[in-house]
Structure 1
Amino acid sequence: MRIGVIGAGAIGGTIAALLDRGGHEVAVTARGEHLAAITRAGLSLRGGWGEHLARPEAGERLHGRFDLVVATTKAADADGALRQNAEALADGLPLVVVQNGLDGIRVARAAAPRTAAIGALSLIAASFLTPGEVTVTAALPTVLGREPGADPAPLAFAAELLGSIMPIETVADLRGAQWTKLVINHVNALPAITGLSVQQVVAEPRLRRILTASMRETVRLAHATGVRFAPLRGLTDARLSLLAAAPLAVGGLLPREMARTMGEVPNPGSTLQSIRRGQPTEIDALNGAVVRAAHENGREAPINAALTALVHEVELGEFLRVDEVVRRVPLS
């Protein structure tokens, strides 16, 4: 099969390398030093799925016809990236949109209306800190789902193809799964603000308390607006309901468990990786999505709003000390 990957960063690079190892013809998009490194020496995969040096076709955009395209850009870049690759996104083409936040399929429908868009949530923990190299620190599944009423055939095709080279799960309730992943992604903000790994954040009691409070605020908002969380990585609606009702000290057991599943290799989280590369983060699609959802329903999400603002501050400046973070994030 000929498969395109739009955005060969941590997740896209991992998927592209696995597809190449699986014998598929792979083309990727990348920019700058990363593109130059892939063109010169290939795309190197290390970590949880072993080592492989892929030699994909690489450029700033895709060319030709494809059997499947996987888009893995940051949420803020998705619209522009899809429009830039419009010539490769043919009628009926299965387009797997691997994106954090709540708006992946909506953006794909607007930017690539001829395709059959499939929503995807990656649970893979991977790092992309050196051009041409991606490292998997947790080899976890990717979850696929479709909108209600959409043709099930493209989803089945994508799940079978991608399932041949990496763990794939499908869900009936994509929206519920997106909200569950949103809770999981709360591990990103504090590492980006402090420069610490996810494991270090969770080990620090004051930061763990803030992380737990941001997750609890999200769950309470979701339930208040009619969302039911879909099962994902051991998180269920019932379990998250317990988090919403529990004191912060008890709720902190959940981020502790999440950190343990990441292993001992320091995991910076995708948002900190963006900051270290000097790139804008996708915090507006993570904690910022909670803030928007709250406002759309006449509510407030002060903890998530504070974390979103602090990440944007660090994008323009320096990491903050733990004491400063504690002082500036209001806990209820």
Structure 2
Amino acid sequence: MKIAVIGAGALGGTFATLLARAGHEVTVTARGLALAVIRAEGISLTGGFGRARQHPLALERLVETPDLALICTKAQDAAAAIAENAAVLDGAAVIVVQNGLDGVNTARSLLPHSECFGALSIIAANYSAPGRVTITTAAPTYLGRGDGAADAATNAWRDVLAGAVPTVGIDNFVGAQWTKLVVNMLNALPAITGLSVQEVVDDAGLRRVMTSSMRETVRVGMRRGVRFGSLQGLGDRQLRAFSRLPLALGQVLPLRMRRRMGDVPNLGSTLQSLKRGQITEIDFLNGAVVREAGLAGVRAPVNALLTALVHEVETRGVPLAPVDVLERFAALAR
């Protein structure tokens, strides 16, 4: 099958390599040094899915319509990347592999003749250099669309992906996006402090802030009438119960996530963007919670401050000390 992967970063490189290893004809889009490296050396994958090196066709933009396209850019880059390739993408099946809440709707608006699906990947992957990806946590990818049951088309594309990478078709994909948004609250504090996710969770003060951001996200979702989808052992019942727990008891959630990661440092996608000198997708993660809170007529002060601090680090170019971060949140509580 002809499969295009738009964006050859951590997840794009992972999917491209595993799909090519499974025998598909894969094309990736990339730019600059990444394009040159992939053309010369291919993409090298190590870690949780084993060692693999594949040589997909690498282009700046697509030149023919694939059977399937995976949009693997950061959320803030998705609209431009889709629009740039729309002439050949429109009409192909499209799977948006992305954080945040808006990716599938963005694809659908730009590609009116395409069937558009969403994928939530729990894979933790470090993009160590152009064309080099290390999988620190090998985990499933969840595929779906809309808020109903997984349909026949979803399950057919699930089977295609599952031949290369563990993939599950899920009901209530929109609700699962919100569940993944709660999980993505792991990202902001590593980006702000320069610490790994594990180091952040191991710090009692930072763990309390992370728990607060997760609880705030769930409460905003509830105000928006969300029925949270099932993902990685989390679902509507569990998250609603979590939202009612005292902060001290709620810390069991990030601690449970930390245990699943193991000890290989997980930098999180937002910190990886900063290390590469790129703008982060924080406005589509914690910033999305703030926007949704506004639509619900409530505030989301923890996520608003986390969003602001990530932007501060983007501007400064250096992380903040944990003690300084905690002082900012102490001032917020006063």
Who is 1:167 aligned against? 166
What does 1:1-332 align with in structure 2 at a 5 Å threshold? Answer: 1-91=1-91, 93-147=92-146, 152-317=151-316, 318-329=318-329, 330-331=332-333
Shift of 1:55: 0.3
State how far apart, in whole Å, the 1-side matches of 2:131 and 2:209 are: 35
| Distance (Å, rounded) in 2 between the aligned partners of 1:259 and 1:302 | 25
User: How far apart in 2 are the matches of 1:150 and 1:223?
Assistant: 21
Q: Which moved more, 1:271-280 or 1:234-243?
A: 234-243
Q: Structure 2 counterpart of 1:11, which letter?
A: L
- Offset of 1:149 from its aligned partner? 7.9
CA-to-aligned-CA distance 1:30-69 (integer Å, 9 cap, x gap): 1221111111111001110000001000011112231111
**Equivalent residue letter for 1:214:** S
Distance 1:254 1:149, change over 3 A: closer
Query: Which residue type is aligned with residue 119 of structure 2?
Result: A
Q: How far off is 1:129 after superposition?
A: 2.3
Rounded to whole Å, the distance in 2 between the matches of 1:129 and 1:294 is 35
- Superposition deviation, residue 223 in structure 1: 1.4
| 1:193 aligned partner, one-letter code | I
Name the SS of the counterpart of 1:114 in structure 2: coil
Q: Secondary structure at the match of 2:228?
A: coil
**Distance (whole Å) between structure 2 residues aligned to residue 170 and residue 289 of structure 1:** 25
Kindly indicate whether the alpha-carbon contact (under 8 Å) linking 2:147 and 2:174 is maintained by their aligned counterparts in 1. Answer: no
Q: Contact (CA 8 Å) 1:303, 1:331: kept in 2 or not?
A: no
Per-residue deviation, 1:156? 2.7
CA 1:33–1:208 in structure 2 vs 1: closer, same or farther (change >3 Å)? same
Unpaired segments ≥5 residues, structure 1:
none
Asked if the contact 2:149/2:172 (under 8 Å) is kept, the reply is no
Q: Verify the 8 A CA contact 1:5 1:72 in the aligned structure 2.
A: yes
TM-fit CA distance, 1:220: 1.3
Maintained 8 Å contact 1:94/1:158:
no
The worse-fitting range, judged by mean Cα deviation, of 114-123 and 196-205 is: 114-123
Cα distance between partner residues in 2 of 1:9 and 1:205: 32
Question: 1: CA distance between counterparts of 2:164 and 2:220?
Answer: 37
> Following the alignment from structure 1 to structure 2, what is the Cα–Cα distance between the partners of residues 52 and 225?
43
Please list the CA deviations of residues 57-108 of structure 1 after superposition, one character each: whole Å capped at 9, or x if unmatched: 00111122311111111111000000111122142x2100111111111100
Aligned residues: 331
